[in-house]
Amino acid sequence: MQPEDVAAATHRIAAHVHRTPVLTSRRLDERVGARVFLKCENTQRAGAFKVRGAFNALLQLPPAQAAAGVITYSSGNHAQAIALAAGELGIPATIVMPHDAPEVKVAATKGYGAAVVRYDRYAQTREQIGADLARERGLTLIPPYDHPHIIAGQGTAAAELLAQAHGLDVVLTPLGGGGLLAGTILAAREAAPAARIYGVEPEAGDDGLRSLRAGRIVHIDTPRTIADGAQTQALGEWTFPIIAGGAADVLTVSDEALREAMRVLATTTKLVAEPTGVLALAGLLTHTGTISGGRIGVIVSGGNVDLDRYAALIATQ
């Protein structure tokens, strides 16, 4: 993949996604001793950067495949993004969700016009259901991160950030399966070749860090963490080589650091973000001494969190 893939994606999806704001805060700058630029993808359509990859992938489907429809297995932000993008583009979408997925999420997905297929997560795997349905019904499977069109689409967030805040020394992104980090590395390769790009993942799910150290994709059990959007078990065949070749490093943060970052974000900018959304900010707050640079970009990746859960998460004690 090339930086041009991200540039092409930026043009392709421009009419469908928000160019989200970049916020700064003097209090935050003083706390970390650098100028911090927050790219607010929690204000993106459907509440996370995932619509970028979704539109970039769906807009490139050959007409026959678009007419037949798409399928994905995810109960999180990727599902909402595919449902929204497919609905807007007139593409039939099927989302495979566990039988015990929260009804609000199922309702939201149906609200965008997608069909929801439930499965028993103790008896079946979502990959199997997805693959079976794709074959039986002739649907195209759109994976959440390991696809070049998804990676290029996610990279458009960093491409915008680099244009909005010139001359960044460092960019920090959350890291799950690596679509966002790989896209960011591609975006920076041309726009800011000297910038150091870090991925930040939950301590409990440090497969990215281990993979980087081992020089191969390391698989782990589903990690227990409040960062539900980063509970991936492994980087992808597409994302790993880009990350291994271009990331300065992978940093990890505790769940407590995520709660603190949610509080800091709310206090300094009045923004609500989900736990996974503040991974990069928590990385900056935790590893301030390691990350050197006067101008630091931070991707706040999503804001989809139930308000009662949010209140419980930011409560101290």
Ligand X SMILES: *Cc1c(COP(=O)(O)O)cnc(C)c1O
Q: Is 283 in the site for ligand X (CB under 6 A)?
A: no
Contact segment (CB under 6 A) with ligand X among 112-120, 171-179, 213-221, 259-267 equals: 171-179
Reading the block at residue 246, the tokens are: 């271009």
Indicate which single residue of 10, 195, 302, 305 sits in contact with ligand X (rule: CB under 6 A): 302
Residues designated as active site: 50, 75, 201, 205, 207, 301
Whole-number minimum distance, CB 63 to ligand X, in Å?
28
User: Closest distance between ligand X and the C-beta of residue 216, in Å?
Assistant: 18
Residue at shortest CB range from ligand X: 302
Nearer to ligand X among residue 154 and residue 252 (C-beta) = 154
Question: Looking only at residues 107 through 166 of this chain, which bind ligand X when binding is defined by CB under 6 A?
Answer: 145, 154
> Does 276 sit near ligand X (CB under 6 A)?
yes
Closest CB 261 distance from ligand X, rounded Å: 13
299's CB contacts (< 8 A; 6+ apart) are 39, 41, 49, 157, 158, 161, 171, 172, 173, 174, 180, 184, 280
Among 130, 143, 229, 297, binds ligand X (CB under 6 A): 229
Residue with smaller CB distance to ligand X, 146 or 260? 146
Nearer to ligand X among residue 48 and residue 165 (C-beta): 48
| Residue 107 burial class via C-beta count within 10 angstroms: exposed 0-12, middle 13-18, buried 19 and up | exposed
Residue list 52-81, contact with ligand X (CB under 6 A): 76-77
Residues 180, 208 contacting (CB under 8 angstroms): no
Size of the residue set binding ligand X (CB under 6 A): 22
Task: Figure out which of the listed residues 3, 69, 143, 178 binds ligand X, where binding follows CB under 6 A.
Answer: 178
Out of 39, 50, 149, 189, the only residue in the binding site for ligand X (CB under 6 A) is: 50
Confirm or reject binding of residue 275 to ligand X (CB under 6 A): no
Closer residue to ligand X, CB minimum distance, 134 or 175: 175
The contact set with ligand X (CB under 6 A) reads 48, 50, 76-77, 145, 154, 174-181, 229-230, 232, 274, 276-277, 301-302
